[in-house]
Chains A and B, each alone.
Chain A
């Protein structure tokens, strides 16, 4: 019964989303007040229906209802309860339902927040969100319905993909999707502003907290994915430039640009058309990510079942939504004029450079990711693009960005007045260079050129971002959350640069073959192999090795990597063992049985690798702080009042 109810609820949600879009878009256009008043109930109704569908699928998973095809394919009665719930988004159909549920949640939040906005504008925002939701619901029902049944029911399920049976992956998709979907809100605000034709800077202020929040979620989601890939996928790297990773990274880069350009539009009324374009672009890239992952046009390690008909559907949807938004843009953007000026040394200039470089970085990733498709479409033959392309080309725009960041922080709006800051700039740079090179050459006697450069940049960014808050504190001025948030996020950037350069230069990695009792020395640590014993898990059998790690004779850790064979899907999975020690991540993975008790093992020592994920968390916290600034809420009311007053005249 429940699966049928879920299916029915999804169909109702589709109808309500259609109504939400119709009332939200046609109401303001035709000036029908009552239509506009019906938008919020439609939002609420859609949310209830989506929640019902979601709950039905969860209960099918929890209750092991193998008459549902999706459950039979992705779960098993031996699967622990926690993973039975998270198996919901373990494959395509369920991930889409998660997407829809998160979009419904964002829409409800916007509907609540929109009470402060002019009603016409609010109706349009919700109307655009309804259109997005309608598209995804239609996609789900037409090509990827998770409630389809099989008759007779399967005796038991095929089990959740074992590499997904992991706490990291349980939380990764919801957080990542929250970020993706959040850009739909920025997109909806931009479209509403263009439809409204009132392209003053109010919409930028209204959008800012939403965009920053979405950005923070996306940052966390990407970091979690990278963390999961590090310890579960098994190669011990933290970033592979895989198409699926790139699909989440491109919207992040553009979203980062958007967060910054919104600041300029909000403060100075500049870059208005550019900000609109970025809002459209960030969401387009989120959708493109969905397309790339789901259509199967690119090869990826992460791409689970792919299907061309789905690709056709998403492409059509992309063309309607993005093509529509860009047409609207081509029509409305020429109306945007601003007579505000700024000097070369002003903050606006630096934010402009930030935007240009971030968009170039995103475009580079885009070119590399789609290169196999583009090359094929142009009949240029096959091409593979991997880290050897992405690493240097990405650096090309990132290094100037980081250097400009440390200077730009000191600049004032409109007139940079960097001359007054010459001394601060010089002191922070010299301090950073001394400290950075000192650390790079002092602690580690070797290293590539990148290391001292990276260290110096990282410390320079950190020092620079602390100057302004320190100054305010000394002068007894208040510190708004927006400023604290910005500072924290920039410290996160510094931390990330520090960690990335260290890891790139000082990783030691070795594959060894050891007999029980034998030892290997890697990166100053001794690894004594104690042998392999069978281990039994809840739904797998495993071979578990024991290694005693010591440094200068003192025991540091005991590591127990495993090789698991899951009962249902029968494949072998390496379960790495990881230990943090003095800032280094020691990772051991079990290789193959070489006979006579000897095993091959991979040992990796990556200093400061955990800092990469910590840095992302710090950035996200910065974003959350900035998004929660009271200024957005109080001024929203004032701006709304002003807008409402202006409306009869318009």
Chain B
């Protein structure tokens, strides 16, 4: 009587699904961005350090950049700051900051105290720009290629591991970038 084996079969399938669920659970809560492989949002935002020159996406065309969303209220951002400074020192890719839902004075004093890893920092006081990028929890970091396409997104504090494993291999070799 095969039909009495049916419950066992269904249970086996459920067990497999649960097993896969556990196996992938470290990734749970990390939401795959629909922006990957798509053009980064167009923007023109106030510049934190240089109010006369707004930060415009059009000006960033033609080169690689890391778009890092941060705020002084964000605990994890403090944790990743040293890593951001390392990235800047490596000279491999430009860092563009998005100061999210913050106030300018605090953001400036943060950069003064901890050092400024960013080439420019765009200001998003209202949180509208962050929504366009699908940001849900700072810090988040996007890697954008010269064509303006988002090729990688890292959620949470940027780590050495993410930098060497995910970001560096995507960048063109350093020799080519210097030539």
Contact = CB atoms under 8 A, between A and B. Distances in A.
A281 B22 CA distance: 22
A391 interface: no
Interface of B: 1, 4-5, 7-8, 11-12, 14-22, 24-26, 28-29, 31-32
Given A373-B17, A373-B20, A311 B25 contact: yes
B28 A296 contact: yes
Contacts of A373: 17-18, 20-21
- Most A Cβ at <10 Å: residue of B17, B18, B26, B29: B18
A376 B32 CA distance: 12
At the interface, is chain A mostly helix, strand, loop or mixed? helix
Contact of A315 (B1, B22, B28): B22
A29 interface: no
B1 A334 contact: yes
20 contacts: A273-B4, A296-B25, A297-B21, A297-B22, A308-B22, A311-B25, A315-B19, A318-B18, A322-B11, A323-B11, A326-B7, A326-B8, A329-B8, A330-B5, A333-B1, A333-B4, A373-B17, A373-B21, A377-B20, A382-B32
A280 B1 CA distance: 19
Given A315-B18, A323-B15, A297 B8 contact: no
A435 interface: no
A91 interface: no
Nearest to B32: A382
A374 interface: yes
Interface in A298-344: 298-299, 306, 308, 311-312, 315, 318-319, 322-323, 326-327, 329-330, 333-334
A306 B26 CA distance: 11
A298 B25 CA distance: 8
B25 A297 contact: yes
B29 A299 contact: yes
Contacts of A572: none
Contact of B18 (A297, A306, A323, A330): A297
A370 interface: yes
A374 B1 CA distance: 29
A327 B8 contact: yes
Contact of B15 (A311, A315, A376): A315
A291 interface: yes
Contacts of A315: 15, 18-19, 22
Given A330-B4, A334-B1, A319 B15 contact: yes
A376 B20 contact: yes
A377 B17 CA distance: 6
Contacts of B1: 333-334
Contact of A334 (B4, B11, B12, B32): B4
Contacts of A311: 18, 21-22, 25
A154 interface: no
A164 interface: no
A318 B22 contact: no
A306 B14 CA distance: 20
A486 interface: no
Contacts of A295: 18, 21-22, 25
B116 to A, nearest CB: 31
- Lowest 4 CB-CB distances: which A-B pairs, in order? A297-B21, A334-B1, A326-B8, A377-B20
A632 B22 CA distance: 44
A284 B12 CA distance: 13
Interface string A362-373: 000000001001
Interface string A217-250: 0000000000000000000000000000000000
Contact of B4 (A297, A318, A329, A370): A329
A301 to B, nearest CB: 13
A468 to B, nearest CB: 35
Contacts of A284: 11
Contacts of B32: 381-382
